[in-house]
Amino acid sequence: MKRYGIFGGSFNPPHIAHSILADDVREQMHLDKIIFIPTGNHALKNNIETIDPMHRYNMAKIAFEKDEHFEVSDIEISNRKEKSYTVDTLIKLKEKYKNDFVKLYLILGIDTLIEFPKWKDPNKLFLLSEVVILNRPNLYVQDVHPDFSARVKYLSVPMLEISSSMIREYMSQNKSIKYLVDKDVQDYIRTHNLYKI
């Protein structure tokens, strides 16, 4: 049976921490590949500071698909008229891979698991995938709703203090992002005048 990790995010922009964490999870969980899914119309983040979803998708492809174990999917951004819910995305992926004997592993930060009670059909996520939770600074298992805390696989991964919002802030201040973002992604950002740099 093939084992595919599902790694969603805004990737606004994608950065090296995304790649490092994904590869760490892939190795720890013995996954065949990681599928990165740029968020479409996020159900819980109406005010997300973002750019055209196709730019985020293109940057993700540039950043991640250099690794043979990484793939980028447009499953959410190709349907931007409706809100994006993880449970619906997983249902579509299960249908897509129904003949391929694939097990899905949903990769989330513990901060996201804490928000599970707000999600659409959170219990169904456990039927569709194994939920893999990554540690985050200053967040702990006891912060998680007890209905969910015992049903996930916890992984310890490097604590990397890099975020897309930090990178956008650096760019707004004309600070270098040289070692934070793939060079080809930096070139894409400049070519398309994203984040006004």
Domain CATH number, residue 92: 3.40.50.620
Residue 193 lies in a domain: no
First-last CA distance in the chain: 45
- Looking at per-residue confidence, does 3 or 52 come out higher? 3
Please check whether residue 141 lies inside any domain of the structure: yes
Is residue 122 a contact partner of residue 129, using CB atoms and an 8 Å limit? no
The answer to whether position 190 is within a domain reads: no
Residue 103 confidence (pLDDT)? 97
Give 55-112 pLDDT, tens digit per residue: 999 999 999 999 999 999 999 999 867 788 999 999 999 999 998 899 999 999 988 8
Does 184 fall in a domain? no
In tens, the pLDDT along 31-50 reads: 999 999 999 876 655 545 56
- How many domains, in total, are found in the chain? 1
Residue 90 lies inside a defined structural domain of this protein: yes
171 is a domain residue: no
What pLDDT, on the 0 to 100 scale, is given for residue 48? Answer: 53
Non-local (6+) Cβ contacts of 80 within 8 A are: 40, 41, 53
- CB atoms closer than 10 angstroms to residue 5: 23
For the ranges 65-69, 175-179, 192-196, which has the lowest average pLDDT?
192-196
Rg (CA), the chain: 16
Cα(147)–Cα(26) distance, integer angstroms: 26
Largest CA-CA distance found in the chain, in angstroms, rounded: 50
> What is the pLDDT averaged over residues 164-189?
95
The verdict on residue 196 lying in a domain is: no
Residue 175 lies in a domain: no
- Domain membership of residue 130 as a residue range: 2-159
